[in-house]
């Protein structure tokens, strides 16, 4: 039976460390308990918000409703053959710990996504990606509950409509479903992917000539730790902005003015620009205002220096968007959910 608490401080439940309060609060430890929560007045009469690790959310105010924290746990092997294995993980499992579990079993496919903060349930919502790998590359299906009637539904990869940091759960089904578990199709004979970013260089530094998935994971963790702040120490939500995609014409225009522009060609013919580079070269790296700041080592990350409110972080992001727009004619889009 789920217990409803009242006037709960959410500072410990969002990685920005913003000390807002939830009018009502419950933790979901079993899927069956959600039916009980749905019967409460707090659920029926108030708005409700489901959170996991709180790593992709910015609270700008107290939440005058019911916050349900997803604490569902469990990992199991659904099926396997000589080439692949289907692994199902409960949505409240810590993402990095789940990745490390898969690596320990010798299952490949997730190692490039090591040390990404958050829970398993958030991974398909925004199609998380890093170092040349996205969730859609290893995703099989997910199970979710309809927030209106509690009915279970299984979503295939096609039904999730994955895009760059996008899925149907951020568009037409936003705030419509509670993801309870995700099933991944992983490799029993892993194909190592070290072509993106500095992974190959980091492996050389580590003295690894014939890397396995554990080596790739360690390299990714080392790179991330060298550039990104630990949310347990410095409040942040990782990458705050998406890397913008522009047409060939717009790319050529910007490149003519800024020859050092960091970009990546896409199969669509468009170009993806490095948002961190745009922010840094707009003179904003390390910029601080009202307790919110642009991280000194990675301009894509906004941090809480200790005194920031959600409003001050949001205001800083708006200022960044305006300055980047004025300098490059490109509009940055926030990746973090604003509440």
**DSSP conformation letters of 285-337:** TT-EETTEEE-SS-TTEEEE-SS--HHHHHHHHHHHHHHHHHHHS----B-SE
For 276, the enclosing helix (H) or strand (E) is: helix 275-279
Residue from 42, 88, 134, 335 carrying the catalytic annotation: 335
- Asked if 44 is an active-site residue, the reply is no
Exposure string of 241-256, with b = 16+ CB inside 10 Å and e = fewer, is: bbbbbbeeebbeebee
Q: At what angle do helices 95-105 and 213-227 cross, to 10 degrees?
A: 150
- Asked if 201 is an active-site residue, the reply is no
Q: What does the radius of gyration of the chain's CA atoms come to, in whole angstroms?
A: 20
Could you give the 3-state DSSP secondary structure of residue 79? strand
Pairing of strands 57-58, 337-338: parallel
- Asked if 311 is an active-site residue, the reply is no
Residue from 165, 167, 181, 317 carrying the catalytic annotation: 165
Rounded Cα gap, residues 187 and 86, in angstroms: 9
Side by side, which strands form the sheet with 271-273? 245-246, 271-273, 263-265
Contact at 8 Å (CB) between 193 and 149? no
Rounded Cα gap, residues 258 and 280, in angstroms: 13
Residue from 222, 239, 263, 312 carrying the catalytic annotation: 239
Residues forming the active site: 165, 239, 335
């Amino acid at each position: 039976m789920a217990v409803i608490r009242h006037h709960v401080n959410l500072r410990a439940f969002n990685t920005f460390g913003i000390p807002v309060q939830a009018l009502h609060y419950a933790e979901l430890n079993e899927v069956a308990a959600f039916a009980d929560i749905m019967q409460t007045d707090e659920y029926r009469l108030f708005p409700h918000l489901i959170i996991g690790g709180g790593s992709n959310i910015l609270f700008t105010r107290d939440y005058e409703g019911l916050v349900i924290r997803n604490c569902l746990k469990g990992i199991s092997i659904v099926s396997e053959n000589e080439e692949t294995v289907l692994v199902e993980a409960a949505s409240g499992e810590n993402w990095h710990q789940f990745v490390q579990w898969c690596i320990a079993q010798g299952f490949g496919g997730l190692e490039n996504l090591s040390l990404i903060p958050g829970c398993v349930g958030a991974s398909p919502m925004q199609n998380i990606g890093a170092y040349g790998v996205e969730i859609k590359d290893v995703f099989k299906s997910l199970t979710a509950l309809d927030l209106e009637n509690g009915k279970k539904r299984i979503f295939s990869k096609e039904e999730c409509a994955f895009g760059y940091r996008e899925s149907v759960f951020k568009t037409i089904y936003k705030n419509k479903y509670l993801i309870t578990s995700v099933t991944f199709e992983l490799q029993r004979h892993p194909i190592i992917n070290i072509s993106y970013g500095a992974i190959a260089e980091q492996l050389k530094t580590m003295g690894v000539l014939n890397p396995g998935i554990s080596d790739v994971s360690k390299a990714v963790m080392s790179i991330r730790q060298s550039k990104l702040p630990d949310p347990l120490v410095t409040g942040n939500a990782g990458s705050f902005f998406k890397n913008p995609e522009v047409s060939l014409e717009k790319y050529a225009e910007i490149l003519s003015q800024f020859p050092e522009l960091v970009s990546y060609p896409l199969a669509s013919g468009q170009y993806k620009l490095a948002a961190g580079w745009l922010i840094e070269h707009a003179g904003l790296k390390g910029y601080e205002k009202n307790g919110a700041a642009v991280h000194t080592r990675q301009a894509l990350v906004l941090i809480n220096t200790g005194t920031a409110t959600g409003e001050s972080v949001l205001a800083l992001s708006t200022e960044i968007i305006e300055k980047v727009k004025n300098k490059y004619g490109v509009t940055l889009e926030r990746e973090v959910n604003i509440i």
